[in-house]
Each structure stands twice: as C-alpha cells, then as structure tokens.
A and B are shown apart, each in its own frame.
Chain A
C-alpha cells in the first residue's frame, strides 16, 4: 500500500531534550516536506527536500533540522525543543515532476513541557 508513515504518532517531551520524528514513504517520490499545524494558523511549511541531499527552508525553519540521506526517509530533528514547538506535525511527499499531488502522513502530535 502506497503510504507515508510517521513515528512516533504522539510524543511528550521536556524542554531541551533532543528528539527526532521520522518520516518514510514507499512511493519513490523525489519531493518531501514537513509542515506544522497550529490552531488558527493553518499549515506552515518547515523544510522541504527536492531529492536526496537537497533540502531548503520553508516559512518556519527556526529550531528545526532535516536531512535527506535516502530517498524514502526525511527525518525532522529538534535539537533543543521549546514549548512553542508544541504542535501537530505532518510529513508529505509527492513526485517532483509536475507537482501532481502531495500525500500526507498521519501526523505527529508533539507536546513540549
């Protein structure tokens, strides 16, 4: 089944404790992206990647890191999480050519205390 998976789905952590949210897709998509969703603010793009070893900042990259060493994986790293990073995070992927569609993962709900 074609899908985007994220782990963990729910996470409670404390300020300053490094964490990684994994994202994996099995559709051989070139393009992958991370978004955060907050009430009243909609979806905001954090980082995106157009292919392996090619990443770029979205609208709200501060406090986040990403890497794209393999085509299928695009982890989101929070080196020193803060309470303002409490949010619902979505990973998405799409075939790069023609921007056909983005497939979203199920989301990761993060609470930083």
Chain B
C-alpha cells in the first residue's frame, strides 16, 4: 500500500518555507526522500532510519516518527532550484507488523508532491 503524501501540490515564492508530509499505515523501517525534475530521473535527497532526524542537504531536512509512521520533509528559504516533484519511499521491516532489525529492501513510493517555486 502506497504511503500518502500531502499536500499534492504547493506553490511557493522564493524564500518561503514548505513542509511535505508522508504517512504510512504500516510499520516502517526507513523512509527515503527523492526529488524529480520534469523529464529527469529521481534524485536521492536523504534517508531516515528509526526516528532519526537527518540533514541531507543545505536547507532541506527531514524527520521520521516511527511510532506514528510518518515522515516530514522541511524545505527552508526555498530557491527556484527546489522546484520539482518530491517523493517519499517507505521501506517496511521484516517480521510482520513491527519491524525487526532488518529492512525488507522493498520500497513503496507515494504519489508525489509537486512543488513550484516562483520568483
């Protein structure tokens, strides 16, 4: 089952902040974030494991609440280059409803959030 991303689309002016949310109904081992520009392949942004907060890029960070099975991507002081579609990918753990120490390596992506940054 695909994770649910919100919002589906957002328009920002340069310098504004945005939050993209990713929610799953399944227990998660890890959450991955990617950005895809029109006509290009997805590009890895960051991965979060077991509730860790990780800064993968300059002004882009993310959090992962494994109890709520949710992750959020934070974009601060947005730039024109941030425009694109953002996808979260969720990996369930092995061992049924709760994850064990190992990931399943099966990645399920959300439908994406289209972010447009305008001057």
Seen from chain A, the residues whose Cβ lies within 8 Å of a Cβ on chain B are: 31, 33, 35, 40-45, 48, 50, 56, 58-59, 90, 96, 99-107
- Indicate if the CB atoms of A104 and B109 lie closer than 8 Å: no
Task: Report which B residues bind A (CB closer than 8 A).
Answer: 2, 30, 32, 34, 41-44, 47, 87, 89, 91, 103, 105-112
Is A104 touching B43 in the complex (CB atoms < 8 A)? yes
Asked if B112 contacts A33 (CB within 8 A), the reply is no
Contact, CB under 8 Å: A45 / B108 = yes
B106 touches A45 (CB 8 A): yes
Which of the residues A31, A42, A106 comes within 8 Å of B110, measured between beta carbons?
A42
CB neighbours (8 Å) of B105 from chain A are: 31, 48, 50, 56, 96, 99
Residue of chain A at shortest CB distance from B56: A101
Output the least CB separation between B20 and chain A (Å): 13
Whether the Cβ atoms of A99 and B91 lie closer than 8 Å is: yes
Q: A41-B111, A42-B87, A43-B89 are in contact. Are A48 and B106 (CB under 8 A)?
A: yes
B32 neighbours in A (Cβ, 8 Å) = 99, 102
Residues of A within 8 A of B42 (CB): 43, 90, 104
Which residue on B lies nearest to A58, using beta carbons? B106
B residues in contact with A101, CB < 8 Å:
44, 47
Do B41 and A90 touch across chains, with their CB atoms under 8 A apart?
yes
Q: Is the Cβ of B41 less than 8 Å from the Cβ of A106?
A: yes
Q: Are A42 and B44 in contact (CB under 8 A)?
A: no
Cα A105 to Cα B40 with chains together (Å): 9
